[in-house]
Every structure is written in C-alpha cells, then in structure tokens.
Chain A
Amino acid sequence: MELFLHQVLAGLATGGIYACMALAVVMIYQAIDHLNFAQGEMAMFSTFIAWQLIQWGFPYWVAFVLTIGISFIAGVLIERIVLRPLHGQHVLAHVVAFIALLSIFNSTAGFIWDWTIKSFASPFGSGQLFGQNLISPHDAGMMGVTIVMLVLLYLFFRHTRVGLSMRAAAANPESAQLAGIRVGWMTALGWGMAAAIGSVAGMLIAPVVFLEPNMMLSILLYGFAGAVVGGLTSPGGAVLGGFAVGVIENLAGTYIPVVGREMKLSIALCIIVAVLCVKPSGLFGRPVVTRV
C-alpha cells in the first residue's frame, strides 16, 4: 500500500509537468484551432532565455517575469511574421510551418547554448515537505502554479472582454469579424499567451528534467496525451488529463512487468488511442458539431 501511495504521488508530481504542457497545448488550440508542434521547442527556448538571465545575475523572480514578457512578445511576433503569410492556406502547410519552427528553435538553442545538459534552479527550494519524503517542495510548487494559472485563465476567458473576443475569434472567425473583433490580432494574442504559458511550464519543468535542447520532445507528447484525455476544448480537463497521464504512466511502469522504463512512452500511445476510441472529444471536451 505504501508503494502504491508513493507511486501515485510520484505520478502526480510528473503529472504536474504534463498538466502544464497540456494547458499550453489547449490554450493555443483554443486560439488558433491547430495543434502547435513547435510548442515544446518554444517553451524550451524560453527556458534557456530564463537560464541566461539568471546567469547574468538577475534574481530568479525578475528573470521569471522578464521571460514571460519576452515569450509573450516573441509569440505575437512569430504569428505576425511567420504564420501571417500562410493565412488561408491548407492546414498541412501550417503543420509544415510548425515543423520548420521546431527545427529552427531546436537547432538555434543547441548552437547558442550548447547541447550539454544544464541544471536549472528551483524557486521552491529543496528538502522535505511536511517532514516526509513523499513529495518534494518543487513538485508541490509546480502543482500550485499550474492550478493558479488555470484559475487565472478561467477568469480571463470567462470574465473579460478580450477573453470573450478571443473565444469568438477562434469559434467563428467570420462572424467575429463582422461583430467588430480584430480576428488577426486575437490569433496573435493567442500565440503570445500560449508562448507565455509554455515558458512558465518550461521553467517549472527544467529543474526536474534538466535543461537541454531536446528536453521537451517526449514531454510534449505526454502533454498532447493529457490534452486529448481531458479534451482539447477544456483547459481544466487538460490539466486533469495531464495529472492522470502522469499517474497512469507511473503505475503501469511499476506494476506491469513488460512495460518497465523503456516502454513508458508507449503507454502514452495506448492512453491516447484508448480514450479517443471511447470518447473522441476527450473526457471533458464538448463534441464538435458541424453543419452539413
């Protein structure tokens, strides 16, 4: 029983990482109606910026806020400069642009900051929480920040004018435009926000997995899995999904002998396929209804 409890808590801790990433994935899905495959690399790049700022002597929280700001602006610029010319093109062209971005960020980060792994400071300190070894302060802090972010996003989307405009622009661009919403800028804003959330996720994840240009590849897949389990239309569902994926992954690795360590990623595949087969719109997502 103790082993079980321990594994569940460890799963929740890694699940926190996935939940962060799933939240960022869902955010951009809400804003642009596509999944951004470069999301993980953008988060990684932001984390490197934070690392650089800390190296230059900025205090942690100043670097934290500065990184969020820089990522937001960079996200908006990427939308304006890179994706604007592809407006109205086939979805596949967009996906190729995402792949190009992924390749550019990955390679540039390796070029500037080297491919060696770096340690990244945790703002929550190390040691024990509640005098027990069950869960580290950083894990707890990570879950806390994820939940705060979720609440802020909820308030933003439900109770502000800009949030409403963004939802309208994503749901029905033409009608939104006729109602006087600047759809192009709403999309850019969505990119900026997704980049900012991604940077927070990256900075929270980096102390656990260490900082290096390839750190996000597998995490992004788990993030996708979490987002799909919870439903791509529901930020809260995505966070829950992320935690669920973390716990399932850990328990399967412990209790199913064949799975072991190296097959853990395949668990993400099984989760994605299983959930999608039973409930194509995710556990908490709204089914998509289209007019014929």
Chain B
Amino acid sequence: MLVRPETREPPVYAVGGIPLAQWRLILLGLGLVVACVVPFALKNFYIFQITLAIIYAIAILGLNLLTGFNGQFSLGHSAFYAIGAYTAAIMMENLGINYVWTLPAAAVVCFVFGFLFGLPALRLEGIYLALATFALAIAIPQALKSTVVEHWTGGVQGIVIIKPDAPFGLPLNSDQWLYVLTVVVAIVMYVCAANLVQSRTGRALIAIRDHPVAASAMGINVSLYKSLTFGVSALYTGVAGALGAIAIAFVAPDSFTFVLAVALFVGLVVGGVASIPGTLVGGLFVLFVPNIAESVSKGLAGAVYGVILLLVIYLMPSGAAGLARLVTAKLMQRR
C-alpha cells in the first residue's frame, strides 16, 4: 500500500494573530519613528549620548560580523576604531578636508589594515586569535604616542577637531546635525550588513564559522573569506571611529586603550552573538551601564559594573537577542 505523504499547511509563525514578519516591520517602523523624534524631544546632552550609543552600535556590528557570523575572536577592535578616528582627525585638521570625506577614507584605510591583519590571523584560532588581537589593542595607543608619528598624531596631547555645523542652512544645532548624520550612516551600514549576511557570501561566512573543513570541501575559499571578513569588520569599526572622532571633536591615544576593545566585546555578547538588531542593545549597554554603575557608588564603580555584567550574563547568556527569541517562542506556544 502506498503511504500518502502527509499534507499539512505550512505553519504560520505568529504572535497575537500577527505574523512574525509583520511584527518585524512594525518594530522597525517604530524604531524609525523614535529615531526621528529623538533630536527634537531631548536635550542636547542626551542627543549627544544617543549619537555615541549608535556609533558604538556600528562598531559592535563590525565586531559581530567577524565574531558572530564568521567565528573569529577579536579583543582588539579598539585598534580599528582608533585608526578610523585618527584618519578622520588627521584629514580634518592637518589636511583641511571636509568631514564628510573622512568617512569613506576611514572605511578604505581600515579595510586595508583589517585585511592585512587578517592574513596572519588566518593561522590563529580561538583563544590564540583573541590574544593576538588583544596585543594589538594594547600596542596601538603606544604606537600613536611614539615620536615617529608624533607630528601627525599630536602625541599624548591628541588632536582637537572643530565640530561641524549643519549644512545648507538647516535649522539644526551641531549636536542635532551629528545625530542625523550618524543615524543616516547607521541605517546604510545596517542595511548593508543585513544584506551581506543573507547573501551567498553571508552563508559562506556562517558555513566557515560552523565547520571550516566542510565549508572548504564545498568550494568556499576559506582564507580569502576570512581575511575579507576581517577587512569588512575593520571597515565598520573604522567608520564608527571616524564618526566618534567627529562627534566628540577630540582624539587622544588614551581614549582607545584595550578598555574600549573590551567594552565593544561586552556589548557584542550582551546584545547577542550573531544578531544584527542586538548590536543596538549592545551600544546602549556600553554607553549607559558604566554611568549607572558610577551613580550607584563612585568608589566601587568597577565592582558594580562587574556585578551587573555577571547578572546580565546569568539572566541572558545568549544576549538580548537570545532573550527576545525565547520570549517570542513562549508567546507563540501560548496561542
């Protein structure tokens, strides 16, 4: 007797009667509305802080492409952030170039640098790569201070930049304008990242993360893709660095120590490994949680931060994205 294949309706994943795909659109729309309201509803200082949070989110997105999607550790992304920031600062102050052009320049410089660092990194895996990148994070501030490049980098003093005003006579002050610029750049970069991850290339990256041997057996050029990912990841973080330099209007070697690298890494894990929206949560965490810790206790700020971090990791070991997945799954079961 022939067994007839069971015919079943394809399952519709929905919460509260609305399919998940539509939920996603609704949330995205809400996010955009909030993003448009922010520059007019808040004080300048808060606008500035949110700008910084978005900049950190872009940097974390870069790290996530490398660590989350391609499985390569990095505790040294502060280096690429620093290179981006210094590219912008040097172009603006020493060469007198308009700040808008510093972003693509920082992107190119960081891509090249990241790609080149990715070549020796090919031989390293896991903890060894984490160590090599950690060493990079420690070495970069020292290199920036060294007398060889002091003429360009301003040594320990760093470089002061003039904050740009809004162009075309737009009725915005410089904080509001920088916010708008950052949001626009962020949207472009997030869309690119989302497309990259869903493309054929993105699948290759994930395949390399999950099983390098199988990936190469399927004809993926593992070395090339890994170094390219390093380059693209550095590109994202470098653009974030350039934006950060313009927003803060100051760069100095001591702003880019390994503390920044560790903060970006923490933001990655808190937001959720291999989650693109999660990086926004990571950016907010990186910016605000140290301040919260300081307001709890000045003397023990580091300890409070550590305890918060431990609690976050206990409560959501796979980050905000993991928590969101869990909640969605629970809500769908209830139906």
Q: State how many angstroms separate the Cβ of A219 from the closest Cβ of chain B.
A: 12
Q: Is B127 an interface residue (CB 8 A)?
A: yes
Complex: A110 Cα to B125 Cα, angstroms: 35
Residue of B nearest to A99 (CB): B262
Q: Is the CB of A272 within 8 A of B131?
A: yes
Q: Which of A85, A107, A280 contacts B124 (CB 8 A)?
A: A280
Complex: A102 Cα to B75 Cα, angstroms: 15
Mask: chain A, 92-117; 1 = CB below 8 Å from B; 0 = not: 11011101111110111011000000
* Interface window among B37-45, B199-207, B295-303: B295-303
Contacts of A96 in B (CB 8 A): 265-266, 269-270, 309, 313
Q: State how many angstroms separate the Cβ of A140 from the closest Cβ of chain B.
A: 30
Tell me which residues from 238 to 280 in chain A have a Cβ below 8 Å from any Cβ of chain B.
Answer: 258, 260, 262-263, 265-266, 268-269, 272-273, 276-277, 280
Contacts of B31 in A (CB 8 A): none
The interface size bin for chain B is 35 or more
Given contacts A258-B148, A263-B146, contact A82 B138 (CB under 8 A): no
Complex: A224 Cα to B310 Cα, angstroms: 24
Residue of B nearest to A264 (CB): B142
- The tally of CB-CB contacts under 8 A between chains A and B is 128
Given contacts A35-B131, A106-B302, contact A276 B139 (CB under 8 A): no
Q: State how many angstroms separate the Cβ of A166 from the closest Cβ of chain B.
A: 19
Q: Is the CB of A269 within 8 A of B139?
A: yes
Number of interface residues of A (CB under 8 A): 44
Q: Is B128 an interface residue (CB 8 A)?
A: yes
Complex: A122 Cα to B306 Cα, angstroms: 33
Residue of B nearest to A225 (CB): B135
Q: State how many angstroms separate the Cβ of A199 from the closest Cβ of chain B.
A: 20
Q: Is B162 an interface residue (CB 8 A)?
A: no
Q: Which of A107, A221, A273 contacts B138 (CB 8 A)?
A: A221
Q: Is the CB of A103 within 8 A of B269?
A: no
Given contacts A93-B269, A96-B309, contact A262 B142 (CB under 8 A): yes
Q: Is the CB of B303 within 8 A of A104?
A: yes
Mask: chain B, 117-148; 1 = CB below 8 Å from A; 0 = not: 00010011111101110111011001101111
Q: Is the CB of A35 within 8 A of B127?
A: yes
Mask: chain A, 63-107; 1 = CB below 8 Å from B; 0 = not: 000000000000000000010011001111101110111111011
Q: Is A228 an interface residue (CB 8 A)?
A: yes
Q: Is the CB of B134 within 8 A of A265?
A: no
Contacts of A178 in B (CB 8 A): none
Complex: A76 Cα to B317 Cα, angstroms: 22
Contacts of A104 in B (CB 8 A): 302-303, 306-307
Complex: A265 Cα to B310 Cα, angstroms: 30
Q: State how many angstroms separate the Cβ of B47 from the closest Cβ of chain A.
A: 29
Contacts of B135 in A (CB 8 A): 221, 224-225, 268-269, 272-273
Contacts of B270 in A (CB 8 A): 96
Q: Is A34 an interface residue (CB 8 A)?
A: yes
Given contacts A100-B306, A265-B138, A277-B120, contact A93 B313 (CB under 8 A): yes
Given contacts A107-B303, A260-B147, 16 further A-B contacts (CB under 8 A): A35-B130, A86-B313, A86-B317, A90-B317, A91-B126, A92-B269, A95-B269, A96-B265, A97-B310, A100-B306, A100-B307, A103-B302, A224-B135, A263-B143, A272-B135, A273-B120
Give the A-binding residues of B (Cβ under 8 A): 67, 120, 123-128, 130-132, 134-136, 138-139, 142-143, 145-148, 213, 262, 265-266, 268-270, 273, 299-307, 309-310, 313-314, 317-318
Can you report 21 A-B residue pairs in the complex whose CB atoms are below 8 A from each other?
Answer: A35-B130, A90-B273, A90-B318, A92-B67, A92-B268, A93-B269, A96-B269, A99-B306, A107-B299, A107-B300, A108-B303, A218-B138, A228-B131, A260-B146, A260-B147, A262-B145, A265-B139, A266-B143, A269-B138, A273-B132, A273-B135
